[in-house]
């Protein structure tokens, strides 16, 4: 198979190494300098789940990286975890749901559920979007995709994120645009230059059914 594929490409239910993804955190809206975070950024040791009906992204790139995550809610120790960094110049998301489970000593499991973009005419909107993904399932279509390029040679998507980039000659892929349908994913972190959550609804409770999937 050639490392570059031109034109529209459809892939069904594929693994995280070969797909873009979408996530949204409850406290998003971080201002990023030139589309990149500082190298000192550390993430919570809790993965979160995201479900979305449709993601449309313009200017997509994906490459491998490493995140430093805390190993406990006390935040005393960290570990390094591999991630697939998916990035978009701009993205719109319809029917987005995000949930995170937190185990609190002497209390039990508490779930936070966030929903937004349920109106197709007012989707979630993001610019300079980065997602540190652990797992993803979706149906996807890419326009003008290049697979197997070196990270430093990519020409699409926002700037490489400082805190979690792979080696300069490491594997990357990019596309003019990407459409994902029926998204179900787990992620470590999401950052964006701007993030507009239309129709935001947030709930907190102890019912496991509050998870998005």
Q: What is the mean pLDDT of residues 46-54?
A: 94
Specify which of 27-36, 69-78, 157-166 reaches the highest per-range mean pLDDT: 69-78
> In the prediction, which pLDDT does 32 show?
29
Number of domains the chain is built from:
1
CA 29/CA 177 separation, integer angstroms: 23
> In the prediction, which pLDDT does 38 show?
32
pLDDT digits (tens, 9 = 90+) for 170-182: 889 999 999 999 9
CA atoms within 13 A of residue 155's CA, in its CB half-sphere: 4
Kindly state the DSSP code that residue 34 receives in the 8-state scheme: T
Mean pLDDT of the chain: 80
DSSP code per residue over 46-70: --EEEEEEEEEEEEEEEEEEEEEEE
> In the prediction, which pLDDT does 57 show?
97
Cβ atoms of residues 211 and 113 within 8 Å: yes
Domain limits for position 200: 4-210
Q: Report in angstroms the alpha-carbon separations of 24 from 70, 117, 186, 201.
A: 19, 11, 11, 13
Of 1-10, 84-93, 153-162, the range with the lowest mean pLDDT is 1-10
> In the prediction, which pLDDT does 80 show?
84
> In the prediction, which pLDDT does 130 show?
93
pLDDT digits (tens, 9 = 90+) for 32-42: 223 333 333 45
Cα 164–Cα 167–Cα 171 angle in degrees, nearest 5: 95
Select from 124, 108, 81 the least CA-distant residue to 204: 108
Model confidence at 16: pLDDT above 50: no
């Amino acid at each position: 198979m050639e490392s570059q594929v031109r034109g529209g490409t459809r892939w069904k239910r594929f693994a995280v190494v070969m797909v873009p993804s979408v996530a949204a955190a409850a406290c998003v809206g971080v201002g990023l300098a030139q589309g990149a975070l500082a190298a000192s950024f550390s993430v919570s040791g809790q993965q979160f789940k995201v479900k979305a009906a449709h993601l449309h992204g313009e200017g997509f790139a994906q490459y491998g990286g490493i995140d430093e995550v805390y190993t406990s809610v006390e935040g005393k120790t960290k570990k390094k975890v591999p991630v697939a960094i998916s990035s978009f110049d701009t993205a719109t998301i319809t029917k987005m749901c995000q949930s995170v489970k937190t185990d609190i000593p002497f209390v039990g499991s508490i779930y936070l559920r966030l929903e937004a973009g349920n109106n197709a005419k007012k989707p979630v909107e993001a610019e300079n979007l980065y997602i540190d993904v652990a797992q993803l399932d979706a149906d996807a279509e890419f326009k003008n995709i290049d697979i197997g390029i070196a990270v430093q040679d990519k020409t699409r998507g926002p700037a490489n994120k400082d805190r979690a980039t792979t080696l300069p000659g490491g594997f990357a892929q990019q596309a003019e645009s990407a459409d994902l349908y029926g998204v179900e994913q787990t992620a470590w972190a999401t950052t964006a230059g701007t993030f507009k959550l239309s129709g935001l609804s947030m709930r907190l409770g102890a019912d496991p059914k509050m998870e998005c999937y």
